Amino acid sequence: MMQFELKQISPKDYEGNLVFLYGNEVADRNLPLSKKELEYLKARREKDADSIVVFDRLPYRFFFVNFDSERLPGESQERLRRSADKVVAQLRSEKQTSLALTGEGVIPEEVVAFAEGLFLADYTFDVYKTEKPSHLATVSIDESFLSAEELERNVNLWQCIQQCREWVNTPVADLNAESFAADLEKRSSQLGVKCTVFNKKKIQSLRMGGLLAVNKGSVDEPRFVVLEYTPDNAVNSKPLALVGKGVMYDTGGLNIKPEDYMQEMKSDMAGAATMASVIFVAAANNLPVHIVALLPLTDSRPGFNAYAADDVLRMYDGTTVEVVNTDAEGRIILADAIAYAVDKYQPELLIDAATLTGAAVRAIGTFGIAAMQQGADNAFNLLRIVGNQVYERLVEFPFWPEYDELIKSEVADLKNCGIAQAGAITAGKFLSHFARKIPYIHLDIAGVAFFSKKQEYYTHGASGYGIRLLYAFLQTYDILHNKQQ
């Protein structure tokens, strides 16, 4: 794994691969360039404010990364992450394993953004590869920009994102509900997070009809994992609840997925992996927020006595649900987890994350999260603001009461699926029923949790999208809490 270190870096004297972040105010005398090279650099910058100019100092490279710091901070930092992705690609092609980072006309946040881009772009899922790709082993950062403590906090975040990507990329043959729960338990003990794992017998005693129904077609037992982080200096007396969809593999059940829609369904547990990663980085960095994460885990198969369309389920809170489509299974297991969170914790805010609907992808593509909220205006506004800052953005869909009519059932309290139109919204509406009067935010991450093709520094496969968003939200959660008081 990539290692970071802080050291004094002088561009004129440094021998090795060097990235120089070229901001808006740079003293030319500090640049290790000839007059002609400097003229060329400025001409390129004039033509393209985001260009990367590479000078050979064989056997090394000097990368001059141009950027316009006059842009909005979120946009400027995002462009730096994307530039880092390009630098990683060139270094990997040359099998270079070390790099130093400095610059002028930049602020610490911009240096962090570039380093973050390096770390995320360098990731590959190569567990099953005989020949491993080249990776950056060491990145030295100019100590004038960051303290050791600041660097450590950021590295903790990046490592949790990497672990999330590993979980999501791992096929169900090697990571089912039982083994994922065991891994969560192990990592919790290392971070001082309380971890409670409910086995099938305990889930049956809790009468979680949704989780049990989805699991009926599988040979692997379900698990329900509750993670709780309780810092001594928590700003909130009632916890913030994070609920994540953990369908370890989704065949669609008896409404089996057609054609190639089943491919990449190992990623259907990305919501659970995301929420686990968020609580782990909060604990690693000692954030003063009391958090509980609730993760229902099972795969969805068409075997044995699999649940079927027309079945009526009785959920944890007593709500009856008519099954219209077994492939709308994520909301069914989430409903039990949300109802349990409300019953046992009465959280002051509840947020879920789930790869829930293709409708969300069709609506906004792969550029952000389709989000909805019920009674959580202040929290949602804060989430939207930090989303723009870290460039993991939200689009708010409406929760108008008319959508409730689309999930009413003739034979039960609700049905698990509405009509084709407004599919992302009716899925969220279904879940909001179980949140009751608790302020509630629903994040449909279907378009961003897993990329079939490389997408900038998120690379190919699991992205970890949403962890930086929720971590930034938690960093400012005390502001929201004080405002509510």
Residues marked as catalytic: 257, 331
Cα→Cα distances 221→200, 212, 217, Å: 6, 9, 10
Tell me how crowded residue 421 is: count the other CB atoms within 10 A of its CB. 9
Strands 18-22 and 98-104 turn out to be: parallel
Task: Give the position of tokens 């990235």.
Answer: 19
Is the C-alpha dihedral spanning 124, 456, 442, 425 positive or negative?
negative
Interatomic CA distance for residues 120 and 162, integer angstroms: 8
Task: Give the position of tokens 């990367």.
Answer: 52
Write the burial class of residue 37 (CB in 10 Å: 0-12 exposed, 13-18 middle, 19+ buried). Answer: middle
| 74-98 as b/e: b if 16+ CB within 10 A | bebbbbbbbbbbbbbeebbeeebee
For helices 423-435 and 330-345, the axis angle rounded to 10 degrees is: 30
Q: Which residues pair with 369 in a beta bridge?
A: 394
208: closest CA among 269, 296, 272, 268? 296
Write the burial class of residue 107 (CB in 10 Å: 0-12 exposed, 13-18 middle, 19+ buried). Answer: middle
DSSP state for residue 402 in the 8-state scheme: G
Interatomic CA distance for residues 398 and 476, integer angstroms: 25
Interatomic CA distance for residues 446 and 423, integer angstroms: 13
Interatomic CA distance for residues 283 and 302, integer angstroms: 38
Interatomic CA distance for residues 324 and 73, integer angstroms: 46
Sorted by sequence, the CB contacts under 8 Å of residue 355 that are 6+ apart come out as: 245, 267, 268, 270, 271, 330, 444, 445, 446, 449, 450
Q: In the numeric block, which tokens belong to residue 60?
A: 């090394």
167: closest CA among 30, 24, 274? 274
